[in-house]
């Protein structure tokens, strides 16, 4: 029985544009990597764990350096082709660990999605193979990087619930691109709990750390 899939296209890293050496099991099973090992290591993966109340959280990287610049190209400049690079190497773990969870992306304002051409969190999760629900909406514009720490604490007031989306008794993986003060995540957790989610965990691509001078 043949179970290997042939790949004739030559894969190139979507970040450095260098040819990727094909020496992984995932490639021989038909998976073309979107990022080379060198660029991935420059992201400096850290697997940071913490809790928001009793909700377990995981961030793959610290926000800064190559992660920050790559996210800007993806999110700020609308370079959609970068969508698979952030979760690619962690995808097998994510698929196994959260196989019975529904992804819920944190909301982005519709005007930002329209200007960019996509929702960045939804795009990042595209290849994870998990079911997705979209019960959360942001009904006013706010760019986190433009807000003060005090203003960010009020972000929860502009996040609402989309009627007829059911999360009751479901296990939810709340996903975001950057965790800064946690105000958005906390507001989303509160709404998910209010609407009956059985279990909630958080996955963020990167986490900001505030260091004293």
- Residue pLDDT, tens place only, 5-15: 445 567 899 99
- Residue 42 burial by Cβ neighbours in a 10 Å radius (0-12, 13-18, 19+): middle
Residue 156: band (very low, low, confident or very high) from pLDDT cuts 50, 70, 90: low
CATH 3.40.50-classified regions of the chain:
47-207
- Computed over every residue of the chain, the mean pLDDT equals 88
Mean pLDDT score, 14-18: 96
Specify the pLDDT at position 5.
Answer: 47
Return the closest-CA partner of residue 206 out of 51, 47, 34.
47
Task: Give the pLDDT score at 52.
Answer: 97
- Averaged pLDDT, 65-77: 97
Beta bridge partners of 12: 19
> What does the pLDDT average to over 171-192?
96
pTM over 0.95: no
pLDDT, one tens digit per residue, over 88-122 is 999 999 999 999 999 999 999 888 899 999 999 99
Q: 141 pLDDT exceeds 70?
A: no
pLDDT tens, position by position, 24-44: 565 555 678 999 999 999 999
CATH topology of domain 47-207: Rossmann fold (3.40.50)
* Residue 101 CB neighbour total at 10 angstroms: 20
CA–CA separation, 46 and 62 (whole Å):
7
**Stretch 202-210: mean pLDDT, rounded?**
95
């Amino acid at each position: 029985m043949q179970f290997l899939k042939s790949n004739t296209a030559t894969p190139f890293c979507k970040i450095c544009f260098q040819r990727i050496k094909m020496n992984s099991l995932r490639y021989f099973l038909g998976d073309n990597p979107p990022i080379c090992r060198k660029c991935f290591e420059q992201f400096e993966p850290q697997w940071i764990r913490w809790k928001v109340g009793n909700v377990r959280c995981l961030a793959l990287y610290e926000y800064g350096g190559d992660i920050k610049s790559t996210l800007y190209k993806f999110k700020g400049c609308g370079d959609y082709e970068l969508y698979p690079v952030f979760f690619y190497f962690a995808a097998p773990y994510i698929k196994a660990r959260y196989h019975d969870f529904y992804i819920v992306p944190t909301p982005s304002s519709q005007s930002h999605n329209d200007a960019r051409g996509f929702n960045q969190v939804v795009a990042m999760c595209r290849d994870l193979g998990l079911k997705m629900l979209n019960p959360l909406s942001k009904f006013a514009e706010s760019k986190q990087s433009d807000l003060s720490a005090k203003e960010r604490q009020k972000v929860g007031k502009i996040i609402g619930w989309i009627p007829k989306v059911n999360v009751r008794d479901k296990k939810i993986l709340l996903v975001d691109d950057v965790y800064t003060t946690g105000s958005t995540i906390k507001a989303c957790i509160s709404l998910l709990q209010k609407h009956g989610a059985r279990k909630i965990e958080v996955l963020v691509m990167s986490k900001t750390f505030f260091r004293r001078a």
